[in-house]
Structures are given as C-alpha cells and as structure tokens.
Amino acid sequence: MTGPHLNATRRSRELGQLAETTVDVLVVGGGVTGCGTALDAASRGLSVALVEQADLAHGTSRWSSKLVHGGLRYLATGDVGLALESARERGLLMSVVAPHLVRPLPMVIALGPDVDPRAGLLVDVGHRVGDVLRRVARTPRGTLPAPRRISVAETTRLLPAVRRDGLRGGLLNWDGQLEDDARLVVALARTAASYGAKILTRTSAVSASGDGAVLRDELTGQTTAVRAKAVVNATGAWADRLAPETRLRPSKGVHVVLPAAVLGHPAAALTVPVPGERNRYVFALPHPDGLVHVGLTDDPLDGPLPDVPVADEAEIAFLLATLSRGLELPLSRSDVVGSFAGVRPLLAGAEGRTADLSRRHAVVRGDDGLVTVLGGKLTTYRRMAQDVVDTLTDVPCRTASLPLVGAVGPGAPAPARLVRRYGAEASDVAALAAADPRLLEPVAEGVPVLGVELLWGVLAEGALTAEDLLERRTRLSFVDAWHTSARAAAEEALQGGRAPVV
C-alpha cells in the first residue's frame, strides 16, 4: 500500500478546513501515543484531527532506546500483567503492524567477574519465564528464537570487545528492536491520514477542554478556536500544561552514540549490570549505519521541562564507565560521536527512584471533559490508544490487525537501505531518482542517507524544515558530524520538494 502524502500544501489546506467543522476527535501531541490514537480513532470511522506543536516525533518518542520489549524487567518487579501486555504488543508489531520496522535483536549478558553465579542463574530463569510470555503472546519461535546459555567462544564472536578475563560464557536472549522510533511515529501518522485524519504539525494547542481547543499556527502566529466532540491530550511529559491536575514524575534518560568499530562491530547487544544496583543495566545496542547506542540513565527531572533535553557530561561519563567494566579496553570520551536525551512521561505513584516507577498507563477524564492519556511506553502505544478511544466510542478497535504504511505491498526491487527503512514503499522512494540518478547517492561524504530520502521526507512525510529532515525523517543528528555535513543537502531537498515533482 502506498501511503498518503503529508506535505506543506496539504497541511495548510487541512488547517483551513479545521476551523469550519466540528471533528469527532481532536488529538493534541504528535508522538507515538498521539499518532497511535489518531490512527485508532480514524480507523474506527471517526473524523480526526491531530495537532503537534513542532514536528512528528519531536518529543520523547524519538529518544527511546528503540527496544520493543517483551517486558522482562516488569517480571522482575512482579508486574506480570504489564509484562504480558508488552509481550503481546511486541508480537503484534513484529508480525502484523510494523514488521518492516521491527527486527529480532540478540541481547547478551556476559558472565564475567561482575556477575556472580547466583545472579546469573536468576537472569537465566527470568529469560525462560520471558520465553513463556512469548509463547502465551503467540509470537512464533521463528520470530524470536529461544533464550540459551552460550559458550565463551560464541560470546566473543557476538561481542568482539567483551572483557575476556574471568569470562564464563553468556546468557543470550531475544527481543524486538526498531529500525527507528521516529519512523514508527511517521508511519502511524501517515496511516491515520490514509483513514482521513488531518495531521497538522507546527500547530500547538494553547488551551484545550472536552469540546474544543484554541490552536496556534506556529508558522504564522494565527490563533483559531476549533470545536471537537472529544479532545485527547497526548502531550506526554508535557501533559500537565493542558491538564494541570495531572500528576507526572518525569525522568530523564540519556544515550551516547559510538561508532560500531570501537566495539569491534558487535552482532548482539551487550548488557552490563550497574554495580551496586539490582535489576539495572547499561546496554550497548548495535544499530544500522555502523553505530552503537549506549544507554541508559534514569533520573528524576525536577523543575521546568526543557523542550529538548540534552545529555550532560556526568551522564555521559557514567555510561562510558559502566559499559567499560564489561569491555576488554575501556572507552574514552573521544569515542563518542553523538548523544541524546529524552524525558519519560512516568505516572506519579509511590515515592522512590524513577527507575522503579511503573511503566503502566492511565486514561483520565478531567472535570472539563478533556481526556488525558498518561505514562506507558513506546512498545504499548497501540494498547494505550485503544484504551483512550474505547472511552469515546462503542465501535470495536481494529488496529491489532491493521498494517502500517510500508508493512505490506508488492515490494518491488529497491536498494537494501531503502527497504530496511521504508519497507514496501522503498521502490516509491527510489523512483524519485528516475530523472536524476544522483539522488540514489549519499547526500554528503561519509553519510549513509541517500538524496531520495530527503526528498521523500518533504514530499510524503510532512517535513517542513531542514531540522525535520536531519533530526526526524533521517536520523543524521545521531552523529554530530553527519548533521553538519548534510545540512546543505537538506536545505536543497526542501527547495526541490516545493517544486512539483512527478
């Protein structure tokens, strides 16, 4: 299925139409939760508009670890219900909803001197219980292989940089990994648009209640009051700005980006326990384009929330030092080629560390009728959306059997990189180079992104600025040097994309 084209022309047309109608559902927030909600409501036959103050995936949804979890860590805290929900959602994403964007990821805990045999045994048991959840969730063995203990030789083959002295082998487990979290959000938004949803970026809700909102067009500064039969606040960590009664406990998480060569091009994720902590790990996750993402911190964020949080030096040092404990050679600051930080929209609950707070979600209706969806995580966005829309209509939810754009289709031949990122739409993206084959080349020296990707971002994926292209349609901003060297190409694609392209 070729999805609908989101672009500047469509945005201004639909923004104008919005003032003249009453939509069934107005969704505020263009992260995974808001876009998932827009798709759920539109696919049940409701008229929907979604407004996002900046760009699709501008908030937390682009800063995740990109894991589609089976919920193993929730088992460790005894929350079997949440673990099972995660395992079910993981299975749906990998088999029906977005199999083109989620792949199986081998993850290894190296049994080195830092992991005593008792702790190793507990992890092994946890992996096996996780595998039972996989079975209950009906995710086939072919999608996620069985966990197993692996030899020293296999551990060092998968993880060439792992620390050798005292190594007794490893514990191998499988989970889901997203190609790119921002791509999932864009695919959700475009699939929602294919059911008629209006997707309006650079449009913020200044205020909202159960029957409408005041919107500001961030490109012109113009404000408009719009009416809706229901309004959903899906603004994540910023939810209390529209719903002040909301109780959130935001928590900051940081990753650093390393060239895969520094870790010998690992074929699996390496998981290293945080010394002195139970059930907390630092992991090095292999990513395409020769990168490894190392995460993760989890610390309460007090005071006003930044629009875009950044990693500080102490957080970067913590990640490098903890991961180095599991490596043959320690990492240094000069190995880092980029870093990023996000804010988890956690539900306020018991006191204590944010790392221990539940990742459950809640749907809350305010006195003014505004429906706010809170908490949760990327893996369970579909279930969150279902729970929200269930409060608005009796029509049954359809999203468990609904593939996103790119998930199914003829899959005509196209460069492997495009198939990995665009699935069945890869040949449509490649076709943009028909008149200019140079568009199938990298946009700058040493940068993996092809010219057609930038153009497709402008023509079909609603990118309105160079930052939209560099930070969210492609992830060139993961590496500081790529971001700088590709900027001119992004500006050029914006100019080219505004001209009619056949």
CB of 384 to ligand FAD, least distance (A): 8
Q: Between 60 and 155, name the residue whose CB sits nearer to ligand FAD.
A: 60
**Cβ proximity to ligand FAD, 155 vs 233, nearer residue:** 233
Question: Residue with structure tokens 């939209």?
Answer: 468
Least distance in Å: CB of 311 to ligand FAD? Answer: 10
Cβ atoms within 10 A of the Cβ of 240, count?
18
Q: Residue 312 and residue 303: Cα distance in Å, rounded?
A: 16
For ligand FAD, give the closer residue by CB, 65 or 474: 65
Q: Which of 165, 167, 166 is nearest to 152 (CA)?
A: 167
Q: How many CA atoms lie within 13 A of 144 on its CB side?
A: 34
Q: How far is the CB of 347 from ligand FAD (least distance, A)?
A: 11
Q: Which is nearer to ligand FAD, 43 or 155 (CB)?
A: 43
Write out the residues near ligand FAD by the rule CB under 6 A.
Answer: 28-34, 51-54, 58-61, 63-67, 69, 204-205, 234-238, 241-242, 253, 296, 342-345, 376-379
Q: How far is the CB of 117 from ligand FAD (least distance, A)?
A: 29
What does the alpha-carbon distance between residue 5 and residue 464 come to, in Å, rounded to a whole number?
Answer: 13
- The residues, any chain, with a CB within 8 Å of residue 44's CB and separated by 6 or more, are 389, 393, 395, 396, 397, 398
In angstroms, what is the minimal distance from the CB of 413 to ligand FAD? Answer: 32
**Residue (of 304, 374, 334, 306) closest to 480 by Cα position:** 334
Q: Which is nearer to ligand FAD, 54 or 388 (CB)?
A: 54
Minimum Å gap between C-beta 43 and ligand FAD is 18
| 25 φ, ψ (degrees, to nearest 5) | -135, 125
Quick one: 409 or 457, whose CB is closer to ligand FAD? 457
Q: How far is the CB of 40 from ligand FAD (least distance, A)?
A: 13
Max CA pair span of the chain: 70
| CA proximity to 206, closest of 222, 230, 229 | 222
Q: Which is nearer to ligand FAD, 110 or 182 (CB)?
A: 182
The full 3-state SS of 286-345, as one line of letters, equals EECCCEEEEECCCEECCCCCCCCCCCCHHHHHHHHHHHHCCECCCCCHHHCCEEEEEEEC
CB of residue 61 vs ligand FAD: minimum separation in angstroms? 3
Contact 7, 460 (CB under 8 A): yes
Closest to ligand FAD by CB, 29 or 366: 29
